[in-house]
Structure 1
Amino acid sequence: MRKVVLFFSLCTLLVLAACSNGASKDSIKVIKFADAGWDSIRVHNSIAQLIVEKGYGYDTEVTSGTSAATMQALEQGDLNVYMEVWTDNIKDVYEKAIDSGKVIKVSTNFDDNSQGLYVPTYVIEGDAKRGIKAVAPDLKTVEDLAKYPQIFQDPEDKDKGRIIGAPSSWVVSEQLETKLETYGLDKQFNYLAPGSDSAIVADLAGAYKKGKPWVGYYWSPTWVTASYDLTLLKDKPYDKKAWDESKGTEFPPNDVVIAVNKDLVTQAKGVVDFLSKYHTSSELTEDALKYMNEKGVEPEEAARWWMKEHEDVWTTWVSDEVAQKVKAALK
């Protein structure tokens, strides 16, 4: 049995701490997963939940919140598993949790991801089939945006361009604002922090359908980068000192890891062994996300489809006995 629990601020951790998941230091009945608000973590949660429920016999729950709040909940033991920790996006929070010894990295889910400011490729190259002309043929880097504020005109402030950022609750939003200030782009562009991931996608989709210029934050792997022809604007090569001081480089290399609360190692050793073998890629993740979007299905259904399509992948993470149980449940 699976449940979904929502929380919206760190204050609610006090409530969560008073709740029981039937856990002690040595046993557990319900394994709780973190949902920090994007589709790929939801798909990976669903894949892992299916295996944990059908293969190992545990109930599962999902708790939603910001990256910082869910990481704190993992550290406190109110959550047990975090399937997609973007380690450099929440570097301070993550390293604090690891250093405390209360959170353990068990594997790298994928490490071939990218993030930054994207534009539709037709903005640079045009699209003859759609009758779209290239309006920014020399746009190659983030700093090059300084040449094109009128191309990306803010509909509410026609004297400036507009850059679509990340939701303000995401750590990356502050990093983007600093980056734009470092490059002086804040003088020519307004920075808009949408309320959600879906708001970013809606804005991009609206522009893309009309063949209009658009520039904004996104990342891979997502169904968006798998479905739309987008170009990631180049940035200065990553340099830790420069990044820490001004965010004036490309984003840091980002290992996307699976982390667990330390007690899960003794509470559910078999599950932790399985998670230690869990490894995918941006391409594999985007397969599920693209299916999810094209078919209009929930993450759980996309996960079931993915597991049928990629049986050769996930069966290497578990024993033959567990694999047979899970395959029977997928029929």
Structure 2
Amino acid sequence: MNKSFRHLLFAVCLIALSFAVIGCGSSGEGEQPKETLVFADAGWDSIRFHNDVARLIVENGFGYQTDVIPGSTPATFTGLRNGDIDIYMEAWKQNIIETYQEGIEKGEIVEVSVNFDDNAQGLYVPTFVIEGDPARGIEPMAPELEYVEDLPEYWELFKDPEQPSKGRIYGSIPGWAADEILHQKYETYGLDETYNYFRPGSDTALAAAISTASEEGKPFVGYYWEPTWISGKYDITLLKEEEYSDEKWNNGYACEWPGTDVTIVVNSSVHEKAPEVVDFLENYKTSSKLTAEALAFMQDNDAGTEDAAKWFLQEREDVWTSWVSEEVAQKVKESL
């Protein structure tokens, strides 16, 4: 074998060996590729905001890929239970209590944290409807309106433009668990005799209705909830109902909405495939106030939920850095 051929053969062997070493090194001994973690988007901005906060931390701090599956509350929660969805950042558990408890009892899902618990929902009116607004020259329109059961006395104030012989109550969004509850309340209180129940096509349409009425000083009565940018920007009043009791709630929802823990829930498989992410989610805790601040940022700056999530991570390090290790926090900061 001549000398030049031996050199060529040696070079070929060296290259082959290099590729073999690189291949072994890239896979790592026993190392498996990380799972893609799927979040639920049940259709409102606050869950999308919390999704994006968590996704930025999970992707940049822990190195996982993430995805989102949108849908109604029943559809996404079913997806969580059967494993198509991994993480639910904002489960209003009282609205879905039967399927929620069933999922836990069957070991399909695990509640890992309470995201926030200082929330409210029900039928709201702009406060000027009751109290007036002297600065805007608005006289009180319904000074005695205090309870949902007072509404039949004021149906003419809230006339339905499409059927003026009745008032209009703006209901919840089709597909939301709250819609079924609110419509039953509407019947339980006998409001169907004097009001039509109008379902807006989206949360955007519902927000537009209440914000337009608030800006123009016109009467409005409809479903809303807190935290939202609406509750942060406008003065609105929740109409009272009788104090909550299980008996009344189970008999046509004839009482106030129960206070509810808005929880973070994961499919039971996440403990095995992403234990460090579960540890992070167990520490994830905010409040209605913090959430409303982010939603107001979106409204004031015409920003999306990812923009709001980045703003939150930059402005509120005092909050989120306590959820993760210093090493993870540093990786997230460097990614912003």
| CA deviation after TM superposition for structure 1 residue 180, in Å | 1.7
Is the 1:287–1:306 contact (alpha carbons within 8 Å) kept by the matching residues of 2? no
Structure with greater Cα Rg: 2
Q: In structure 2, what is the equivalent of residue 29 of structure 1? A: 35
Q: In structure 2, what is the equivalent of residue 218 of structure 1? A: 224
Q: In structure 2, what is the equivalent of residue 172 of structure 1? A: 178
1:323 to 322, 329, 333: 329
In the alignment, residue 108 of structure 2 is paired with which amino acid? K
**After the TM superposition, which parts of structure 1 deviate over 2 Å for at least 4 consecutive aligned residues?**
26-29
2:241 to 235, 246, 249: 235
Alpha-carbon separation, structure 2, partners of 1:176 and 1:32: 30
- Residues 247-283 of structure 1 show CA distances to partners (whole Å, capped at 9, x for unaligned) of 1100122111000011110111110000000000000
Alpha-carbon separation, structure 2, partners of 1:69 and 1:147: 38
Compared CA separation, residues 27 and 72, structure 1 to 2 (3 A) = farther
Q: In structure 2, what is the equivalent of residue 310 of structure 1? A: 316
TM-score, structure 1 as length reference = 0.90
Q: In structure 1, what is the equivalent of residue 96 of structure 2? A: 90
In the alignment, residue 150 of structure 1 is paired with which amino acid? E
2:47 to 41, 44, 47: 41
Higher helix share: 2
Structure 1, 100-109 or 164-173: larger mean CA deviation: 164-173
In the alignment, residue 92 of structure 2 is paired with which amino acid? W
Q: In structure 2, what is the equivalent of residue 134 of structure 1? A: 140
Q: What SS does the corresponding residue of 1:90 show, helix, strand or coil?
A: helix
Compared CA separation, residues 27 and 249, structure 1 to 2 (3 A) = farther
**Identity score, percent:** 51
1:73 to 56, 71, 79: 79
Q: Structure 1: 5+ residue runs without aligned partners?
A: 1-25
Q: What SS does the corresponding residue of 2:165 show, helix, strand or coil?
A: strand
Q: Map of 1:188-207 to 2, 5 A cutoff?
A: 188-207=194-213
| CA deviation after TM superposition for structure 1 residue 93, in Å | 1.6
Q: In structure 2, what is the equivalent of residue 258 of structure 1? A: 264
In the alignment, residue 132 of structure 1 is paired with which amino acid? I
Q: In structure 2, what is the equivalent of residue 157 of structure 1? A: 163
- Residues 281-301 of structure 1 show CA distances to partners (whole Å, capped at 9, x for unaligned) of 000100100001111111000
Alpha-carbon separation, structure 1, partners of 2:55 and 2:234: 29
- Residues 12-38 of structure 1 show CA distances to partners (whole Å, capped at 9, x for unaligned) of xxxxxxxxxxxxxx9742111000000
Alpha-carbon separation, structure 2, partners of 1:248 and 1:76: 33
Alpha-carbon separation, structure 1, partners of 2:207 and 2:247: 32
Alpha-carbon separation, structure 2, partners of 1:27 and 1:97: 29
Note if 1:120 corresponds to 2:126: yes
Alpha-carbon separation, structure 1, partners of 2:235 and 2:50: 24
Note if 1:186 corresponds to 2:201: no
In the alignment, residue 65 of structure 1 is paired with which amino acid? G
Q: In structure 1, what is the equivalent of residue 62 of structure 2? A: 56
Alpha-carbon separation, structure 2, partners of 1:171 and 1:106: 22
Is the 2:211–2:230 contact (alpha carbons within 8 Å) kept by the matching residues of 1? no
Is the 2:249–2:255 contact (alpha carbons within 8 Å) kept by the matching residues of 1? yes
| CA deviation after TM superposition for structure 1 residue 97, in Å | 1.3
In the alignment, residue 164 of structure 1 is paired with which amino acid? Y
| CA deviation after TM superposition for structure 1 residue 235, in Å | 0.8
Q: What SS does the corresponding residue of 1:234 show, helix, strand or coil?
A: coil
TM-score, structure 2 as length reference = 0.89
Q: What SS does the corresponding residue of 2:223 show, helix, strand or coil?
A: strand
Q: What SS does the corresponding residue of 1:190 show, helix, strand or coil?
A: strand
- Residues 101-158 of structure 1 show CA distances to partners (whole Å, capped at 9, x for unaligned) of 0100000000111000000011011111111111001111111112100011111111
Note if 1:271 corresponds to 2:277: yes
Aligned residues: CA RMSD:
1.1
- Number of residue pairs the alignment of both structures matches: 305
Q: What SS does the corresponding residue of 1:214 show, helix, strand or coil?
A: coil
